[in-house]
Amino acid sequence: MTSERATMIIDKDFRIGEVDPRLYGSFIEHLGRAVYGGIYEPEHPEADEQGFRTDVLELIRGLQVPIVRYPGGNFVSGYDWKDGIGPKDQRKKRLELAWRTVEPNQVGLNEFADWARKANTEVMWAVNLGTHGVEEARSIVEYSNHASGTYWSDLRIEHGYEKPHAIKTWCLGNEMDGPWQIGHKTAEEYGRLALESAKVMKWVDPSIELVACGSSSRAMKTFPDWEATVLDHTYEHVDYLSLHQYFSNRNGDTPTFLARSLEMDDFIHTVIATCDYVKAKKRSKKKMYLSFDEWNVWYHSNDADKKIAPWQVAPPQLEDVYNHEDALVVGCLLISLLKRADRVKMACLAQLVNVIAPIMTANGGPAWRQTIFYPYLHASLFGRGQALVPLIRSPKYDTKEITDVPYLEAVAVHNEERGEVTVFAVNRDLERTLPLQVDLRSFGGCRLIEHIVLEHDDLKAVNTQAEPDRVKPHTNGGAIVSDSAVEARLAKASWNVIRLKVNG
């Protein structure tokens, strides 16, 4: 507990880096009800002519999601993309080994590209480097991106898509360091395969960007040697290295749970150091950027998932019901990503609908926003521009696992085009309000647009189909702006968005 004040100084010239809009990406995998019953449900009363749920599309468009990773995830390492193209009545049903379900292949590459256009987003496609390899990688790029005059491009045209999909961003497999992965490989094996796949993919389309698999989490025994070995092979042929990490509160220790974003910080810093080591080793002029393309809170559904019978189509897997404290952690994780916007250029909240997701649906029924929807929404809408270095003084606390945890987690983003500065802030104190002063000396005069607050007296409060608005933000935060300073009182256990208009 604390009654001390926190202070924050931001200067428009002390920049971390430009925020790539793709930092607010997401992820849809052929897992559980993410696709079937999530984005796609032909029998739903609000389904469009292709079977996509328009109520879900409306929520996603509201989030302004810039890119969506697809079709996996662990799913992709056993997936043959050719099963998902051509006439739907001729597509094969397959046993899906990663999640022990049946995949009907009614949504595939072309349908997802259509959905992405409707959702105002781009596709980040993951290729199968588990059971498939170089030929898989080459042919799918040709099918997707080559104009015409070849077997694969003409087959796409035959399937009704005259114009190429022009998919720009491609993942070279998924979590290949994990023993659970179909086709798991050593770093040496994967590095060689990723290199050869990258070469042919860019020969087909030199305009694409490639993401190499980093470690599945910072807890992997092979971390960070995996990164060093993989980059030793691929450094000059890929554009991004991936990071994955999920966070939980299985033991009910909320103060530690709220501090987990410090572990994300450490993970990012270690990967950057490894990238820069390989750069120095190779005497390269190229800077490696990061794609944190799986991150979220995930643990609520673990016990329920163990009871699901195998070999069903779209069973309710990984359907975490998120509470208020989860939303605070997601807010802290978003702040961590913004604090390294100079190197983390893409990130994917995993996932988007039903499966550990900000959006939930009922089959045949409504869609609603989970608690974590709101910090994700606010960051996506207001966190675009230049991320600024946050000079923070805050009282701190210790937990059994993590020490020197600041009660204030915060960052600011300057959108020069709109003439706005936005401060994102979490008060980790579970019992007391945290007074905050923000010094905006370099901006001259400012005025308050709004102070959005997400708070709730019950940390375990959730949104459900019956009570979809139990946890939702309000705009009565009460921040006061006096010329070039902001005074605010951050409610206990709260997520705050303080939006400011720069005068002049």
Per annotation, catalytic residue among 41, 96, 103, 175: 175
CA separation for the pair 303, 83 (Å, rounded): 32
CA separation for the pair 57, 40 (Å, rounded): 10
> Which runs of E-coded beta strand occur in 253-390?
289-297, 344-350, 359-361, 367-369, 386-388
Per annotation, catalytic residue among 103, 136, 294, 319: 294
The SS3 assignment for 139 reads helix
Contact criterion met (CB below 8 Å) for 491 and 479: no
Contact criterion met (CB below 8 Å) for 492 and 432: yes
Burial environment of residue 273 by CB neighbours within 10 A (0 to 12, 13 to 18, 19 or more):
exposed
Distances (CA, A) of 319 to 60, 308, 316: 18, 12, 6
* Active site annotation includes 58: no
CA separation for the pair 140, 231 (Å, rounded): 24
* Active site annotation includes 49: no
CA separation for the pair 79, 261 (Å, rounded): 33
Encoded tokens for 13: 């010239």
Q: What spatial distance separates the first Cα and last Cα of the chain, rounded to whole Å?
A: 40
Do the strands 122-127 and 405-406 form a parallel or antiparallel pair, or are they unpaired?
A: unpaired
Do the strands 344-350 and 25-27 form a parallel or antiparallel pair, or are they unpaired?
A: parallel
CA separation for the pair 334, 292 (Å, rounded): 11
Contact criterion met (CB below 8 Å) for 48 and 372: no
CA separation for the pair 253, 48 (Å, rounded): 44
- Report the C-alpha dihedral over residues 326, 330, 335, 341, rounded to 10 degrees: 160
Do the strands 396-397 and 15-18 form a parallel or antiparallel pair, or are they unpaired?
A: unpaired
Q: Which residues are catalytic?
A: 175, 294
